Amino acid sequence: MKYYVLADPHGFYDIMIKTLTEKGFFTDPDPCKLVVCGDLMDRGEGTLEMQRFMTELLAEGRLIYVRGNHEDLMEQMLWQIEEGQEFRILSDGTPVPVHNGTWQTALRLAGMTEAETKRERDLLVRLVRESDYYTTLMPAALDYFETEHYVFTHGYIPCHAIQGSTKYMPYKDFYFNANWREASEEDWENARWYNGMEFACQRNLYLRDKTVVCGHYHCSYGHANVEGEGAERGPRAIYTPFYGQRPHDPDAPLAVIGLDACTVVSGFMNCLVLEDGDLTSKQG
C-alpha cells in the first residue's frame, strides 16, 4: 500500500491541498491512503474545509487518522466549559485554549461569534459535539498506525518515566517500554506531548526494527539539536523533514522521521510518500 503522510496540518487546509497536489495524491493511479499524524485542527482558518475533506476521505476508506494532543485539548476544553471551570491563563494574559487555537476552532465548528458564546456557552459545546469533527473523525482517531517497517504516531510511543511523565510536568528520566502497544490511555495521552526526535536520537529510546514517523515538535529541533544545522527558531530554522539515524548504527533503519513543519511559521507542510505492508493499529 502507498501512504501519503502528513503531520500537524492544524487547519491549514489550502496549504495541505497544495502539498498533496504537488506530491501527486489526487492523481495517483495506485491505491493509496492519507496518514495524518495528529493535530488536524487549530491555528489555521480552514476548519470547515478540513472537516469536510477528511470526513469524505474517511468514508472512502482512504484516511488513517492518528490522534494528537490538540484533539485531547478540544475534549479537555469542552469539559472545562461544561464544568464551569475558568481557562488557565498564560503569563501574557492569554487563555490556554485561545493560545493553542482550540477556542477558535470551536467557534468555527459551531458557527458562533465570540459575543454569542458569552451568553450561550452550553450551545457552543453542543454544536461542537454535533460536528463531524467530533462525532466522526475524532472517534476514528488511532493512538498509532503500524506497517511492516513503520510506526506512525503523534509525539512518540509511550516510554516508562522515572521522574515526571505527564504533559503538565517537565519530563526527566525515561527508559524503553517494550510493551508500548499495550500502554494505558494515560500513557498514550502523555506520549502525544513527547518530542520524538529527542527521545529517539538523544535519549536513544528507539525501536530495534522499525522507524517511528511522528509530528508534534517542529523539525527544526532535530536539525539544530541533533544535526547541528541551522537553528531551532528564527530565520535560520530548517523545517524540512528530519531523518534521525540510530546512534552508532548508520546502516540500520532510521530511528525516527519528524514531519512537523511548523506551518504557522514556515508556510508549508511536509509530506512523506511511503510504500509498505499493512499490519495493525490501536484505537485512541
Which of 20, 72, 83, 15 is CA-nearest to residue 46?
Answer: 15
- The angle at the Cα of 80, spanning 214 to 282, to the nearest 5 degrees, equals 30
Strand partners, 214: 258
C-alpha distance from residue 242 to each of 45, 80, 158, 159, 164 (Å) = 27, 36, 20, 21, 27
C-alpha cell, 163: 521522574
3-state DSSP helix/strand/coil % of the chain, to nearest 5: 35, 20, 45
Distance from CA of residue 244 to its chain's centroid?
18
Q: For residues 161 and 183, is the Cβ–Cβ distance under 8 A?
A: no
Predicted local distance difference test score (pLDDT) of residue 283: 55
Q: How far apart are CA 59 and CA 132, in angstroms?
A: 12
Q: How far apart are CA 237 and CA 223, in angstroms?
A: 8
Predicted local distance difference test score (pLDDT) of residue 266: 97
Predicted local distance difference test score (pLDDT) of residue 20: 98
Q: What is the mean pLDDT of each run of 10 residues along the chain (284 residues)?
A: 97 98 97 97 97 98 97 96 91 93 97 92 96 98 97 95 59 84 92 94 92 98 97 97 86 92 98 84 55
* Architecture label for domain 2-68+141-283: 4-Layer Sandwich (3.60)
C-alpha cell, 203: 535519549
C-alpha cell, 255: 530511528
Q: How far apart are CA 103 and CA 11, in angstroms?
A: 13
At 131, which amino acid appears? S
Predicted local distance difference test score (pLDDT) of residue 168: 47
